[in-house]
């Protein structure tokens, strides 16, 4: 019986590690490689070096999240506010800058996710856009009011479905591109290493604005508190491969079809959809529709939950009687605000909003966690 108990505990630990890894993958999918817009803006533009850039970016992102979770759990902290106070101490007030960064990024990311998912529903089913916004908003609302366990469960199933769909749709797109080896050989001869500095910089910028995932990952990674088997590092190691695979498939396919979507009117807004429409394979458009919807909804759910988790025990909702009602109020607030902000347009939010926030995050989050964060973990 004792052996059975130990075996069960080991399996549960592995399951929890993979579950937390899948949360990051599912959330990053909607804010990363669902539409193709971000891949084109930050990786495809660098040519072959974009493939190295995306791998570096995922290494940076998963590495700093692992450090953040370890610091959070080691000192038994209870909110990302406490984490960044600990990180910036003795300059505790710098935490307020992260607060501002987080609020702006959540609003932008959820706006993109809800608007994108609503547009996908409208395009595939012919439904009214505003009706679709309400439906997606309600789905996100109900998914985020039941706490981190619900978010973990939903993200795990969605993440698995996304992985399968990505392999099918993007894999088919790469095969249909023709002589991929010749294409990349020509690009390397033309570009050489000229795009490498830009690719490295873009890796940091992309990882920077994806730091909006940190609060959600802290809440979900709290299940590792009291564990001494480096569960935080293992979960992010697994997530590195998941995210590099998904993002890599998307970027690789778009690199193969760059001459197609860049020459199509408005093709760079939703480059992945443009490429798949060019192939004229109906079943592939259906598979991509599933990917797009799952990616965007999963991102909206995890990011909205991070906002809810931050304020559910604060004085802001102190007069709301129950925890469940507090979550309802906070979730409704961020969803309504995000829908209004989404009218600014997908490309503008990604190019300007994400870009500037990415620059800020390099100095505000990435460098401090890689230096001060690591030192405080070792010191503690």
- Chain segment 352-376, per-residue pLDDT in tens: 677 788 888 999 999 999 999 999 9
How is residue 117 written in tokens?
């998912």
Asked if 288 and 169 touch (Cβ cutoff 8 Å), the reply is yes
Q: Percent of the chain scored above 90 by pLDDT?
A: 23
Question: Is 36's pLDDT higher than 90?
Answer: no
* Exposed / middle / buried, residue 58 (Cβ in 10 Å: 0-12, 13-18, 19+): buried
The reply to whether 249 falls in a domain is yes
Axis crossing angle, helix 282-311 with helix 129-144, rounded to the nearest 10: 50
The reply to whether 149 falls in a domain is yes
The reply to whether 4 falls in a domain is no
Q: Quote the number of domains for the chain.
A: 1
The reply to whether 311 falls in a domain is yes
Angle subtended at Cα 266 by Cα 105 and Cα 263, rounded to the nearest 5 degrees? 125
Q: How far is CA 239 from the centre of its chain?
A: 11
Question: Is 231's pLDDT higher than 60?
Answer: yes
pTM beyond 0.85: the answer is: no
Residue length of the chain = 380
Q: Say which residue, 164 or 87, is predicted with more confidence.
A: 87
**Residue 171 belongs to what domain range?**
49-379
How far apart CA 377 and CA 380 sit, in angstroms, is 5
The CATH number that applies at residue 157 is: 1.10.4160.10
pLDDT confidence of 10, banded at 50, 70, 90?
Answer: very low
Q: Say which residue, 288 or 350, is predicted with more confidence.
A: 288
Say how many CA atoms lie within 13 Å of 30 toward its Cβ: 35
The reply to whether 5 falls in a domain is no
The reply to whether 35 falls in a domain is no
pLDDT averaged over every residue in the chain? 81
How far apart CA 98 and CA 86 sit, in angstroms, is 13
The reply to whether 6 falls in a domain is no
pLDDT confidence of 1, banded at 50, 70, 90?
Answer: very low
Q: DSSP code of 332?
A: H
The reply to whether 1 falls in a domain is no
């Amino acid at each position: 019986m004792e052996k059975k108990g130990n075996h069960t505990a080991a399996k549960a630990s592995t399951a929890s590690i993979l579950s937390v890894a899948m949360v990051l993958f599912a959330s990053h999918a909607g804010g990363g490689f669902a539409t193709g817009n971000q891949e084109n803006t930050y990786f495809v533009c660098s040519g072959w070096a974009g493939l190295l850039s995306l791998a570096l970016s995922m290494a940076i992102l998963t590495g700093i999240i692992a450090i953040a979770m370890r610091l959070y759990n080691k000192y038994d902290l209870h909110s990302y506010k406490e984490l960044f106070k600990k990180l910036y101490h003795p300059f505790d007030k710098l935490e307020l800058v992260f607060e501002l960064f987080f609020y702006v990024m959540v609003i932008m990311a959820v706006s993109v996710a809800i608007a994108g998912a609503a547009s996908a529903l409208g395009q595939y089913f012919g439904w009214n856009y505003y009706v679709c916004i309400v439906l997606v908003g309600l789905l996100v609302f109900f998914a985020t009011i039941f706490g981190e366990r619900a978010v973990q469960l939903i993200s795990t199933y969605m993440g698995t479905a996304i992985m399968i769909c990505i392999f099918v749709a993007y894999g088919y797109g790469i095969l249909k591109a023709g002589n991929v080896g010749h294409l990349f050989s020509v690009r390397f001869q033309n570009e050489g290493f000229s795009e490498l500095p830009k690719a490295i910089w873009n890796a940091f910028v992309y990882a920077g604005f994806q730091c909006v995932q940190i609060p959600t990952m802290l809440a979900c990674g709290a299940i590792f508190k009291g564990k001494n088997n480096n569960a935080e590092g293992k979960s992010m190691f697994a997530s590195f491969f998941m995210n590099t695979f998904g993002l890599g498939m998307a970027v690789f396919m778009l690199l193969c079809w760059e001459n197609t979507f860049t020459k199509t009117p408005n093709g760079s807004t939703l480059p992945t959809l443009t490429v798949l429409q060019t192939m004229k394979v109906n079943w592939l458009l259906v598979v991509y529709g599933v990917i797009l919807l799952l990616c965007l909804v999963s991102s909206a759910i995890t990011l909205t939950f991070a906002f809810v988790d931050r304020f559910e025990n604060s004085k802001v909702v102190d007069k709301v009687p129950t925890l469940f009602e507090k979550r309802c109020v906070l979730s409704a607030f961020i969803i309504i605000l995000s829908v209004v902000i989404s009218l600014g347009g997908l490309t503008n939010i990604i190019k300007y909003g994400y870009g500037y926030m990415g620059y800020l995050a390099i100095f505000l989050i990435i460098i401090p966690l890689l230096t001060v964060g690591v030192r405080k973990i070792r010191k503690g």
